[in-house]
Structures are given as structure tokens and as C-alpha cells.
A and B are shown apart, each in its own frame.
Chain A
């Protein structure tokens, strides 16, 4: 029972990682940029959520606020930070991305204080349900459900719609896709909007789960996200989802069995190093 609970909690945490990592791996697949500032968008979603919730007294309104603000800011980051740098080597955009992330973190600190903002009213945190003997609060259930719904919807969109096919064609060969009438810039905007929306949702859920939104909340998630997309095979979307779930479960068991030797947040990198020793291109190396 105890192990089952560790597994479930790990999968839920992994689902949150997946929501976060999806945007990262999509950006990498399309533009070959490590979008570190994605973690800033994650925190921004959480801030938009907590501010809305505390102002209106409604957690339900926090959801569209977090998703909406993140989905709007992601494309702006593309437009004003990455687009002007696309002709430069990728590390230029990487450095800009790290700079933006630090600026966002410090911006949150200056605007909303260094200790973060708690939710004034967080019924989802205190309401728990017992499912098959495992006790979960509403935030945890929401993490699992929203990942299933969002990742599932995204999967259908990318696999079965005309725009989804156009998107994958652009990732595969942007020049050819363009010559057949697909606008690569629109694909990029869409990419940033969808990836950022998911990061915003993940940020809000993590804020709710800790009952605190604080300036540095993106940092740990940021480097774990990078570990996940490398593990998943850079640019490989299903690979990133599976790697997220694996990491969530390994961490969950690790906090119990490895706590004496390894901090929870170090596990991601222990796993990363171990996997790269055996499979240098990640667990699920991209095709070709």
C-alpha cells in the first residue's frame, strides 16, 4: 500500500513535470533553443493565479488567469527575445533566456516581496479524497486530471488536425513546409502560446500544492525541465512525457529510500548522469 501511494504521488508529480517540460521540448524541437525562461512563465502563471484568487476570492477564476497570462507572455518572449536572435548561434538565445529568467525572478521579488504570496483561501489544498486507500487532495487530483486532459488534447491536436500536421511538417523541415504554404512564424507563435499555457497551469497547481507562490519557484523546475528533455531525447514530445513520469516516480521513492544520501532535487541529475552514461542521446533518442 505504501509503495502504491509512493507510485501514485510520484506519477502525479511527474504529470506536473510533463506539463512544464512539454513547452520546453516543443521550443527545442522547433527552434533548437533551450528555453530557460519557460520557468519564469511557470512562476508568472502562479503569480497571475494567486493574485486573481486573492482579489476575487475564487480559485476557479485563478485557472483562466494563470493560463491566459502565461499563454499571452510566451509568444511575446518569442517575438521580442528569440525572434531577433534566430540568425545567431543558439547559445546567444540561451544566454538571453537565462537573463530573462533571472530578470523575471527578480521582478517578482521586487513587485510581490521576497517571501512570496500565500493563497488567502485554498479549499483545494485542504479538501482530500481517499481513492482506494490513498489520500489525495484536490490539487493533486487536478494535477493528474489536467495533465491527462491537456496532454491528451494536445496529442489529438498534433496528430489529427490540419494545423497539427502543419506544425509537425515545420519541425521536420521548415523550409519545405514554408514552400508548401505553411507560415513558420505562426507555428512558432502557436508553439509558444500552447507550451506557455501548460507551464502557467503547472505553476498555478504547484503554487496551490505548496499554498505559496514565491519568486524562486521556477528555478528548481527549470533545471529539472532541462534534465527531463535531455532524458526524453531532445525535441521528442512523448519521450519528455515519459521521462517526466519516470522522474516523478524515482523522486517519490528516492525521498524515502535515498534521503540519507541524496537530496530530492539532486535525484534528477543523478538519473540524468546515469542514463547519459548508458544512452548518450537520452532514453528516447529522436528518429534518424
Chain B
């Protein structure tokens, strides 16, 4: 569904990501792991169209979207849950969802909104509340819900669990697994490698912008050395 091929990107002379290739299939989770500053967020933002590619290609259903604007990518099915959630803090939950569905017009938005509220009943409870006053977990749900309002085929999630209580992390993962079962393709960036490995169908590990490990979910779960070799930084620190 989503193919990233030989992607290079970064700000200015600093190349954040070098020669990265990965695929995300419908109804599957690809986990993009690695220590802080490895280039995971740059990759996500490049796929969403907010960071320019210096080389390589991004394809959705076989068609290149590398030249498309961020809006165009949203319209074609790229959904973004950005690092730090970035909900519109001055807007209510309802208004955040409205903006999420902006590309598809009013009527489509109404139908999608009821699905989002069914997936995250907490958002229905907080419907008129300002997003800035929500808890971290609720903001995460809102960031996911907002992305879902545009009816994405691929969901890019930059840190699902960062800073959340374990019970909330469970809820968020459960919701994402629901979406995956419905056929959404998910690219999951995580610092919480344990949780990501549990659910991933394929795994790519970045260190300083270079791909250092690539395997199926099965293989990576059997590979006891993986966490120690590349992902131990967080656990150690």
C-alpha cells in the first residue's frame, strides 16, 4: 500500500535519513524503531509531505506522491498523528474533528465522526471541551481521531505511547489494532519498543539515519539480540 523507496531527507546540509526503504501493507503494522534522533520523525514528516525529500520516492498504491502537497496526501489517504500530538489546543474536541474532516466536506465528516466517537468514547464525553485542557491520553485519542476524520488508508503514528499511563497506552493500542483489523495500514514509530514489537508485522530499525535492521515481526520477536544491539539505549538510560 505505502512504499518508501531509497528515501533521503533532512533539513539543509544535515541529512537526517539516508537510503531508507520500507513498506506498509493494508491491515498490517510496520514498526519504525530506533534511538532518539535516529530520523524516525523526519521519515514520518517526509511521508506526510512536511519535509522535502532530497532523493527517493514515496508511493501510495503504486503511484508516486513525492511531489504532492501535504493536503493532497491527506486527500489521497495519508493520515498523520504527529510527534507531540499537536492537537489544536484552542479548539474544542468537536472542532478538532471538524478540521480533521475538512478535505471531505460536511456530510462525509458527520458519518466519520460517529465512527471516531465510537472508537474513542472518551472523546464523546469531552466533546465540547477545549483540546488544550485534555489529558495526554485524551489528546492522543484526539490526534488519532482527527487523522481518522480524513479517512486514511495509511496511518502514520509518531509515538503512540510516549508520556502516557500504561492503562491509556493499552486503550490506544487496542484502538489502533481495531483500525488495522478494518484494513488500515499503520506505520508506527515508537520508543516503547516492547509494545511495538508485540504487534508489528514488520520491523525497521534506524540508527543515525541509517537502516541497521529489517525483519518480519515474527523474526524480530524471536531475535533476542535485537533490543540489546540497537534499542537498548532507552532501557539503559
The total of Cβ contacts below 8 Å across the A-B interface reads 62
Partner of A169, one of B70, B74, B91: B91
Judged by DSSP, the binding face of A is helix
Q: Would A181 and B88 be within 8 Å (CB), given that A165-B98, A175-B50, A287-B132 are in contact?
A: no
Partner of A182, one of B73, B99, B132: B99
Q: Mark B19-55, 1 if CB is under 8 A from A, else 0.
A: 0000000000000000000000000000011100000
B71 engages A181 (CB within 8 Å): yes
B50 engages A179 (CB within 8 Å): yes
Judged by DSSP, the binding face of B is helix
Within 8 A of B (CB), among A161-195: 162, 165-166, 168-169, 171-173, 175-182
| Across-interface contacts of A88 in B (CB, < 8 A) | none
A288 engages B89 (CB within 8 Å): yes
| B5 contacts A by Cβ under 8 Å | no
Q: Which residue of B is nearest A177, CB measured?
A: B99
B103 engages A162 (CB within 8 Å): no
Q: Which residue of B is nearest A173, CB measured?
A: B86
- Shortest A172–chain B CB gap in Å is 4
How many Å lie between the Cα of A166 and that of B101 in the bound state?
11
| Across-interface contacts of B132 in A (CB, < 8 A) | 287-288
| Across-interface contacts of B98 in A (CB, < 8 A) | 162, 165
Q: Would A181 and B89 be within 8 Å (CB), given that A165-B98, A169-B99, A176-B82 are in contact?
A: no
| Across-interface contacts of A166 in B (CB, < 8 A) | 99, 102
Residues of A within 8 A of B (CB): 162, 165-166, 168-169, 171-173, 175-182, 287-288
Residues of B within 8 A of A (CB): 48-50, 70-71, 73-75, 80, 82, 86, 88-91, 95-96, 98-100, 102-103, 106, 132, 146, 150
